[in-house]
């Protein structure tokens, strides 16, 4: 995997990740920085960074559901465009699925823009199923898709969650 690894994020990672956070929050780095620091507090383990040759090439966060102890959310998944090695997103999602299963979560939810075809394809290929869609109030023609993975499936993707086969 050409010197790639995944590791827990630490507070010292924030300066490297702020530009990515700004892209995810319409330029507001404060929103990302606040979420990053909150997610580093126990009991949330949350942030995971993918590295290649010692440099961050992807990140994601796992957060527990506020309404169910058996569910969580995959958030802030970000794999910036080139230059980056291919195949970063799939291992991050697979790691998120394994970590959610270790926590006893039966479901893992994720939200993405419907227009983000690469992300939708990845999630669907890894067994997530669409459960809801709605229009983005901030821009015409954009919509969100909520997808859900259910425990009982292949934690590496492929057939995915129980509902997916």
pLDDT (tens place) for every residue of the chain, 165 residues total? 457 788 888 878 887 777 776 666 666 677 777 777 776 766 555 778 888 888 888 888 888 888 889 999 998 888 876 666 678 889 889 988 988 998 899 999 999 888 888 889 999 999 999 999 988 676 667 788 999 999 875 555 544 444 433
The total number of residues shown for the chain amounts to: 165
User: What is the pLDDT, as a whole number, of residue 157?
Assistant: 52
pLDDT at 164: 37
Task: Report H helices in the chain.
Answer: 14-24, 29-40, 89-102, 117-125
**Could you give phi then psi for residue 89, rounded to 5 degrees?**
-65, -45
At the topology level, CATH places domain 4-164 in Aminopeptidase (3.40.630)
Q: What is the pLDDT of residue 113?
A: 84
C-alpha separations of 165 from 59, 71, 109 in Å: 28, 20, 18
Q: What Cα–Cα distance (Å) separates residue 72 from each residue in 56, 97, 142?
A: 24, 10, 25
């Amino acid at each position: 995997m050409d010197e790639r690894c995944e590791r827990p994020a630490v507070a010292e990672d924030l300066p490297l990740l702020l530009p990515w956070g700004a892209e995810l929050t319409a330029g507001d780095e404060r929103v990302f920085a606040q979420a990053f620091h909150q997610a580093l507090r126990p009991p949330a383990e949350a942030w995971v960074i993918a590295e290649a040759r010692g440099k961050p090439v992807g990140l994601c966060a796992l957060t527990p559901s506020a309404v169910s102890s058996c569910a969580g959310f995959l958030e802030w998944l970000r794999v910036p465009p080139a230059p980056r090695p291919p195949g970063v997103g799939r291992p991050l999602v697979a790691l998120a699925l394994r970590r959610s299963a270790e926590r006893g979560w039966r479901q893992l939810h994720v939200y993405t823009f419907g227009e983000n075809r690469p992300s939708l394809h990845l999630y669907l290929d890894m067994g997530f199923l669409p459960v809801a869609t709605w229009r983005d109030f901030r821009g015409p023609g954009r919509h969100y898709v909520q997808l859900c993975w259910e425990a009982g499936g292949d934690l590496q993707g492929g057939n995915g969650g129980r509902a997916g086969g």
